[in-house]
Structure 1
């Protein structure tokens, strides 16, 4: 037997001196519909407030066939970009009447399936997902069971709606301005090559070289995954390959940047380092680094808002379009007098 006491609507009705049916109608927002007297409504609401009572979510589910919950699946809770996405989503979901469940796939396909199955078991009304594979058939299957929007990453070849940062444009500008300084050696560290962030960010990197009639050294373009330890490993590999640091370095995520910086700190505490450091994703702590790091800043608030708007539209039976969210550049190392906006 539980030591905890849970009040029911019957308890509130008894304390307020009304019938259980009357209390239920008032507490579930149907007092006006059934023309219940204002004084009765106020009395029941006062009793409920004094006892911190909330109507049962399970009961509402049975009546509405909605759970009032949404799911968000992200690769890593420790990844700053994904943590910011969750941080921005939670309050606007709450304002829209939804409780947000956040789970991690650890960027692993099997864990992703288990995470989604757990959310399905909880009967979430919709799902926002940062995919860790290009398994279009799997995601299409889930989309038949509930509204599904892909966030931060798209699935190449899939027609599922996505909300993704336009990576090509800012990466191309960042690399172009670095090349304009006479730099001809830029290492590129990316995640899994077939994931859309890798495709889009590398496309921007290559586009910058091509626009100036140049070609990046393919030996300095490296891919692993988006975990921090991979950034460390690629920096170590690059240093051993050259016998020094490259003149410039671009990393395709802040988690990879963390790994690369860890190597530099352990190697010689930044006494030597690439002359130019660049990263996709930003963090205020980068303002405190001994070397300036220019970054692409994603608009987490817009990623969250567009994602929720599409889930709500799908729940209403409406069709939705994918959206590319613009990013901006944060120049900590001014590469030219026309460097543009600084954060």
Structure 2
């Protein structure tokens, strides 16, 4: 294995000079750093991470801790962040928690032990206090979800406004029994989205308005939950005339259930999805949905975070950046007409044999 001493011998300089050049030490000139880097690459030198850790030197790794990479919402974030930090000389390492606080703790412990340069995290509903303690010892930023106990550096979306606009769109079309299927309200995003939905209904008379039975909360990353919730809503005697989704995977579940039951959208049910996935624009009549600036948000977060790491400030000032969504209106929503008001309940629709 090629060592720093081998590179030093080739360049006829001291090993300490080579070590400092590879560590981007400001005492070494740019020309020397460039020459050392070229020779190191030519000789196939690989930095000894264990030795760097023993010296207390941070690695070039940036940890990304998120719930579910199968969710394209998060895979888009991972891709954007990877490109962003790579351009700054860092490498992204991915950890998936499944929204389990103990798995989250395990990943944070491992990242801390590897002396990562920092951690970008989409936290679970109730992070373990040890996870919070470890995060506060490292540069970190919260993305999408915000837990006050972790800190006050955050990049996210205005979830309340997003769901308000989606629900209000249906209200303006004359709908009153508007169902909502979303994530649990113990998650910051789940609580904010539920609040937006409820706020849009507040101006309506309670007579004929959606009630608690029209709200279904569960795993935001579960397609099956979306299907089960939609199935339950369709069976109500006062079945909804419209439904709003609170996550990408829930949207997929809703669409699958409606297709399996041959529910006509929007004639029998108006639908507003969450996120603008590939295929949503041509699903059925085209899905009206909440467009999210996920790529731009992740890129902004990555650029800001890399800058913070390089500043190496001991005191980290509070910072938050809130992006806004866009309601994309397509063919899956329409005005509530007389025929729809008088139609038989959706619970009578049957799944194909």
TM-score range, shorter chain: 0.7 to 0.9
CA distance 1:262–1:81, change in 2 (3 Å) = same
Q: Matched residues in 2 for 1:138 and 1:280: separation?
A: 33
CA distance 1:178–1:19, change in 2 (3 Å) = same
User: Which residue number in structure 2 is paired with residue 12 of structure 1?
Assistant: 7
Q: Matched residues in 2 for 1:116 and 1:43: separation?
A: 36
CA distance 1:52–1:288, change in 2 (3 Å) = farther
Q: Matched residues in 2 for 1:72 and 1:44: separation?
A: 30
- The Cα of 1:61 is off from its aligned counterpart by 4.5
Unaligned 5+ residue runs, structure 1?
1-5, 337-343
- The Cα of 1:332 is off from its aligned counterpart by 2.0
C-alpha RMSD of matched pairs (Å): 3.2
Unaligned 5+ residue runs, structure 2?
335-353
1:32-181 → structure 2 map (5 Å cutoff): 33=27, 46-62=38-54, 65-135=57-127, 137=129, 140-155=132-147, 160-181=152-173
CA distance 1:182–1:27, change in 2 (3 Å) = closer
Deviations 1:65-88 (A, max 9, x none): 212222111110101111111111
1:1-343 → structure 2 map (5 Å cutoff): 6-15=1-10, 20-21=15-16, 23-24=18-19, 27-29=22-24, 33=27, 46-62=38-54, 65-135=57-127, 137=129, 140-155=132-147, 160-213=152-205, 215-226=209-220, 227-242=222-237, 246-268=240-262, 271=264, 274-308=268-302, 309-310=304-305, 312-313=307-308, 315-317=312-314, 318-333=316-331
Q: Please say which of residues 72-81 and 163-172 is displaced more in the overlay.
A: 163-172
CA distance 1:14–1:135, change in 2 (3 Å) = closer
Task: Tell me if the contact between 1:206 and 1:216 (Cα under 8 Å) persists in the aligned partners.
Answer: no
CA distance 1:61–1:151, change in 2 (3 Å) = same
Q: Matched residues in 2 for 1:251 and 1:105: separation?
A: 23
Alignment: residue pair count: 326
Task: Tell me if the contact between 1:164 and 1:323 (Cα under 8 Å) persists in the aligned partners.
Answer: yes
